[in-house]
Amino acid sequence: MPPADGPSAPPGGDEVDRIVAAWRRVAPDLDVEPLEVLSRVARLAHHLDRLRRGAFAAHELETWEFDVLAALRRAGGTHELSPGQLVVQTLVTSGTMTNRVDRLERRGLVQRRPAPDDGRSVLVRLTPAGATVVDAALADLVRAEHRMLAVLPAGERRALAALLRRVTAPFETTARG
């Protein structure tokens, strides 16, 4: 029997089970079922953030630096995008992006060039050094993420990805709109 001052998780349970049990005890009229999913997503996001920061630090990158470099790498071709396209892909303000591009340019990881179709605009291009560092960081990240998901068989990983896609889709649509 759990102690009177707090519930314990069911056998095989986790911290979220303990949190949900406590809320059910102190607020029995409140439906706390969303916590069973979303608190786990939040906790997983925290662990994933730590894992990613570690993978990027091994390449002397901050998470935001990886995000910008990865967006340019994914662009294919000449690996360049406008600052506005980078803003959309990284979900930051234009002022923040200007600061980030300045910092990456000082490190020799990106360079600006005039846009060929509009002399007032610029494009941000990934340099060879930037491509090398983002490719190496991505390889380390993917290896670490594979280890993180190894507790699930391939079919369950695909099912989880599909479920999470359904939950996040309305937010992604709103962000693009």
How are beta strands 118-126 and 110-115 bridged, if at all? Answer: antiparallel
Q: Which two tokens stand for residue 177?
A: 């709109």
pLDDT band at 4; cut points 50, 70, 90: very low
Position 116 scores a pLDDT of 87
C-alpha dist (Å) from residue 11 to 1, 33, 35: 12, 19, 19
C-alpha dist (Å) from residue 91 to 75, 77, 80, 175: 16, 23, 17, 8
Q: What does the domain layout of the chain look like in residue ranges? A: 62-176
pLDDT (tens digit per residue) in 124-168: 999 999 999 999 999 999 999 999 999 999 999 999 999 999 999
What does the alpha-carbon distance between residue 139 and residue 148 come to, in Å, rounded to a whole number?
Answer: 14
Yes or no: say if 131 and 66 are a contact pair by the CB < 8 Å rule: no
Yes or no: say if 110 and 104 are a contact pair by the CB < 8 Å rule: yes
Q: Which amino acid is at 110?
A: V
Residues pairing with 123 in the sheet = 113
pLDDT (tens digit per residue) in 17-68: 999 999 999 999 999 999 999 999 999 999 999 999 999 999 999 999 999 9
- Is pLDDT of 1 > 50? no
Q: What is the 3-state secondary structure (H, E, C) of 155-174?
A: HHHHHHHHHHHHHHHHHHHH
State the DSSP string of 61-101: --HHHHHHHHHHHHT-TT-EE-HHHHHHHHT--HHHHHHHH
Q: Give the sign of the dihedral formed by CA 126, CA 128, CA 133, CA 137.
A: positive
Q: Under CATH, which number does the domain 62-176 receive?
A: 1.10.10.10
